[in-house]
Amino acid sequence: MRRAMSVSELSPLVHSRRHLVSNGWTDRSIDTALRCGELIVIRRGSFMAADDAGGLWPEGRHLAHVIAVARDSTGGAVASHVSAGVVWGLPLYRYQTLRAHVTTPAPVRISSGRDVIRHRAPLPPGDIVLRHGILCTSLARTVFDIVRTVPIETAVACADAAERLMAQRGREWDEDAVTAWRRSMAARVDPASGVRGIRQARWVIRFADGRAQLPGESVSRLQLARLGFRTPQLQVPVAGPAGRRYFVDFGLNDVHAFGEFDGRDKYLDESKRRGVPLDRILLEEKQREDWIRGTTQWRFARWGDDHITSPGALSKRLASFSIRPSP
Give the domain CATH number at 268: 3.40.960.10
Tell whether the model's pLDDT for residue 326 goes beyond 80.
yes
Are residue 44 and residue 6 in the same domain, yes or no?
Answer: yes
User: For residue range 171-213, what is the model confidence (pLDDT) as tens digits?
Assistant: 788 999 999 999 999 999 999 988 999 999 999 999 999 999 9
Say how far apart CA 236 and CA 98 lie, in whole Å: 39
Residue 26 forms part of a structural domain: yes
> Do 179 and 239 belong together in one domain?
no
Cα torsion 151, 225, 161, 68 to 10°: value is: -10
Q: What percent of the chain has a predicted confidence (pLDDT) above 70?
A: 92
Residue 142 lies inside a defined structural domain of this protein: no
For residue 169, the enclosing domain spans 148-210
Q: Which of 189, 210, 231 is the last residue of a domain?
A: 210
Rounded CA-CA distance 38/32 in Å is: 9
Same domain, 231 and 299: yes
pLDDT in tens, 142-170: 999 999 999 999 999 999 999 999 998 87
- Give every CB contact of residue 95 below 8 A, 6+ residues apart in sequence: 58, 82, 150, 151, 154
What is the Cα–Cα distance from 317 to 299, expressed in whole angstroms?
A: 13
Q: What pLDDT is attached to residue 108?
A: 58
Domain boundary among 137, 158, 191: 137
168 and 121 within one domain: no
Q: Write down the pTM of the prediction.
A: 0.90
Predicted confidence (pLDDT) per residue in 72-119, tens digit: 987 788 999 999 999 999 999 999 999 999 999 866 555 567 899 999
According to the model, what pLDDT value does residue 280 have?
79
Q: What is the pLDDT of residue 112?
A: 63
Q: Average model confidence (pLDDT) for the chain?
A: 91
Q: Looking at the structure, do residues 108 and 169 belong to the same domain, yes or no?
A: no
Q: Read off the pLDDT of residues 42-83 as tens digits, 9 standing for 90 and up.
A: 999 999 999 999 989 999 999 999 999 999 987 788 999 999
Do residues 99 and 193 both lie within one domain? no
Q: Are residues 105 and 204 in the same domain?
A: no
Determine the average pLDDT of the residues in 219-225: 98
Residues 28 and 78 both lie in one domain: yes
**Per the structure, how many domains does the chain have?**
3
